[in-house]
Amino acid sequence: MRNFFSDMMKKISLVLIAIIMSGGVWAASGINYDGNSLTLYNDFTRTQCGTQLKSNLKEISGLAASRTTPGFLWAHGDENTGSGRKIIAITPAGTLAMTLNLTTPNNSRDDWEDIATGVYDNKNYLFVGAIGDNDLAFNDQYYIYYFEEPTVTSGSQTITVNTICFGYPDNKAHNTETLMYDNIEQMFYIADKVDGVCHLYKLPFRTDYGSAVQRLTEVCALGNGSKFKLANGGDISPDGKWMAIKNESYILLWERLNNESLATTATRLPVQIAAYQKEEQGESLAWLNDSVFYTTSDSKKDTPIYQYTRWNATTPDEPEVEPQPVDSSAKAINEVVLSNGYYAFINEGENIIRGWYMQGDPVPEVESYILSERAAWTQNGNEITITALNGSTATNTTDFQPVTPVAFTDTLIVFDGSESSWVKSAYGWDDTKKWRFSKTDEDYSREIAGKTHVELFLPACDTVVLTSMASKEREVKFYINGESFGSKTKLLVAGNTLVVEQPQPFMLSVVSAQSSGDGGIASIRLARKKTVTATESIRHSEVRTQKLLRNGTLYILRGEQLYTLTGLKADL
């Protein structure tokens, strides 16, 4: 009985501390978030642990806890141009320990907004996000600089960084101040900063992206309108259990349940941390572990560093449950890219990685792959073994087959399901929906290979007209021989015209991002010049296309040419 009252008084005391340090008695509910009043989470206490001195760093924009040398924080400021491109290591008290001068590429951005730490291939990495864009002037020119995290010693070092360039799925400019890294999925999560609806995006971390622009995938909206806006900073705990995103006025906290993806976690309502007090220009948050995180502000003066500590209510009658490692399926292959630029296809329930190549071309090899949750890939000939985090294994066999392209014809080809010899990777054939796209909102990512795109092996031709199903209008993107070109466009009811100049047969991939309905491609029409140029140039027609109702019949007017709904020319 004595222990019972002692434990109760301890709990009551800790709750009173949380009330006092959060600036007064807290209400039962927090902000209005997406039409719901958030629960106030009272298990954190807030203390000032130190001061970030302006003599060390002006206007601190990012904060991350060191994994290589626990007990230190990495920070960067806004003064990251020329010789000022640096990050520093400090103690939570604010004492300067070390300076890292970063050598970045010539196209470096100077609007650094966040920093994160993470583990990849059993190595600790530092990630710096050159992701800010107040003037919305840098479409497809956002960068994540990364390098292996050094040991914190003293003095200074100079490090040359690696670069990931990315853009957003809508091909527009975005202002962003939140870069997070999830150790479980080995995935970046980025929240944009808008005076309206903030959105969360993701991008897998890989060290072989090269110079190509990577496209983020949208995960979900965070609240809406004034209910949550201006996301200024955030971080994911090292064990992947917690995601915290903040602005000046509050910190929101999402708890990951069991082995779910963080994208699923983010779609649930968060809780609001009661102990938080408004920090003017509060842009930085860094998890030390699953129970402690730090915050500070972007200020030109000496600025407090705060430590938030979670109360773990542990009693003999209520033992704390240790987080369990996420169980990783050995079959979790999310993407396989071949050396010819095509994406392999994996049927559900099979252990066969299927790929195709143009007849006469060399047999392709596996160039890159994405596995879920730190699974390992081992290849021996045409056998690939996937070893999961939990030790389970699955053996896959590669099956790469040559494809003979469709014979050239200038008449309309109406699909009937017999095109399986040169139509590949489609979601499936349906008598009413033809070659289908799946229901997906993974904007052009092709993360689940074969489920969001149709690949057609075509002859050398000048013009391709694709016709979607009769009541459908789809947003699609096109790839020629595995290379992306142009921005997303609409596949109209009467077809979308592409101009493709190729001297040899080629592969056309049509990738859909439709989030509802799964109607597909109904027909195709090919045209070819008498003399095919050898420039191999690819261009998207800029001629305006619009619908026209004439004498009770619906036509498509493209420029000055009229087409029927089957894609054939009609008289004006």
pLDDT for position 83? 59
Q: Is 263 helix (H, G, I), strand (E, B) or coil?
A: helix
377 and 268 fall within a common domain: no
Sequence letter at residue 335: E
303 and 351 fall within a common domain: no
Task: Give yes or no for a contact between 47 and 14, defined as CB atoms under 8 angstroms apart.
Answer: no
pLDDT for position 73? 94
Side-chain-facing half-sphere of 58: CA atoms under 13 Å: 6
H or E stretch at 489: strand 483-491
**Please, which residues bridge with residue 558 across strands?**
545, 561
pLDDT for position 329? 44
372 and 416 fall within a common domain: no
**179 is in which domain, residue-wise?**
26-310
For residues 64 and 513, the model is more confident at: 64
Asked whether residue 316 is domain-assigned, the answer is no
CA nearest neighbour of 92 among 64, 55, 125, 57: 64
386 and 444 fall within a common domain: no
Q: Which strands sit side by side in the sheet containing 176-182, from one edge to the other?
A: 176-182, 187-192, 199-204, 217-221
For residues 169 and 370, the model is more confident at: 169
Residue 285 has pLDDT above 90, yes or no: yes
Residue 492 belongs to domain with CATH number: 2.60.120
Asked whether residue 18 is domain-assigned, the answer is no
pLDDT tens profile 378-410: 888 889 888 876 677 888 899 999 999 998 888
Give the CA diameter of the chain: 97
Domain count, the chain: 3
The residues, any chain, with a CB within 8 Å of residue 483's CB and separated by 6 or more, are 341
198 and 279 fall within a common domain: yes
81 and 109 fall within a common domain: yes
Residue 435 has pLDDT above 60, yes or no: yes
Q: What is the mean pLDDT of residues 83-99?
A: 87
Mean pLDDT value across the chain: 76
pLDDT band at 105 (very low <50, low <70, confident <90, very high): confident
pLDDT for position 465? 82
pLDDT tens profile 476-521: 777 888 777 666 666 655 566 777 777 888 888 887 755 445 567 7
